[in-house]
């Protein structure tokens, strides 16, 4: 399959989705932020100076999903039916799993990955006073359902 965001002359373009079926579509993305024990304790104990880290990160992720088309130039704006962010405190960091859903003619993979990315960046912002050496990694699509290409799950994913 060729690159759909390029026309015959190789110029960038927004893909025409007018002929695509409107179907229910969901995408799940994940990412991780590694941090010091002190920073993790601030997240876990809700003692960060800026407030409840995970509550703010969840809202940031949801907001980011809604703004994806403004951030990624060739993404279609689409009507999201649901966006959520779930966090798991792990030894040495926090894992985020973001889920986005729509009933539309194009997928929500970019919305889910944008939500995960911005949730992680927000965690960094909220606790950087405690640990500036935090590392964000592993942002990836775990699963997508619906659409012409059907369902897909990452190896080692959902």
The pTM of this model reads 0.92
Catalytic residue positions, numbered: 125
In the chain, where are the structural domains located? 36-147
Task: Give the total residue count for the chain.
Answer: 158
Q: What residue numbers does the annotated binding site cover? A: 74-76, 110-111
Residue 44 half-sphere exposure toward CB, CA atoms < 13 A: 15
Mean pLDDT is lowest, of 73-77, 98-102, 128-132, for: 73-77
The answer on pLDDT for 2 being more than 70 is no
pLDDT in tens, 78-106: 999 999 999 999 999 999 999 999 999 99
- Phi/psi of residue 56, each to 5°? -70, -40
Sign of the CA dihedral 40, 65, 80, 158? negative
Predicted pLDDT at 100: 98
Q: Which two tokens stand for residue 96?
A: 């985020």
Adjacent-strand bridge partners of 34: 93, 135
Identify the CATH number of the domain defined by range 36-147.
Answer: 3.30.70.640
pLDDT in tens, 9-64: 878 888 888 888 899 999 999 999 999 999 999 999 999 999 999 999 999 999 99
List of residues 6+ apart from 91 with CB closer than 8 A? none
**∠ CA 18-110-76, rounded to 5°:** 30
Sign of the CA dihedral 145, 72, 34, 54? negative
CA 3 from centroid of its chain's CA atoms: 22
- The DSSP element (H or E) to which 43 belongs, if any, is helix 37-44
SS3 category, 118: helix
Q: What residue numbers does the annotated binding site for substrate cover? A: 74-76, 110-111
């Amino acid at each position: 399959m060729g690159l759909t965001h390029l026309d015959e002359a190789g110029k960038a373009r927004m893909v025409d989705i007018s002929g695509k079926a409107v179907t229910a579509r969901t995408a799940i993305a994940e990412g991780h932020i590694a941090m010091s024990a002190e920073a993790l304790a601030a997240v876990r104990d809700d003692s960060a100076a800026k407030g409840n880290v995970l509550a703010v990160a969840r809202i940031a992720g949801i907001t980011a999903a809604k703004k994806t088309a403004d951030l990624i130039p060739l993404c279609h704006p689409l009507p999201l039916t649901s966006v959520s962010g779930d966090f798991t405190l792990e030894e040495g960091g926090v894992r985020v799993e973001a889920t986005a859903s729509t009933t539309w003619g194009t997928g929500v993979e970019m919305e889910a990955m944008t939500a995960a990315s911005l949730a992680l960046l927000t965690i960094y912002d909220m606790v950087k006073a405690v640990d500036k050496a935090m590392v964000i990694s592993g942002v990836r699509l775990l699963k997508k359902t619906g659409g012409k290409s059907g369902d897909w799950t990452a190896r080692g994913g959902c």
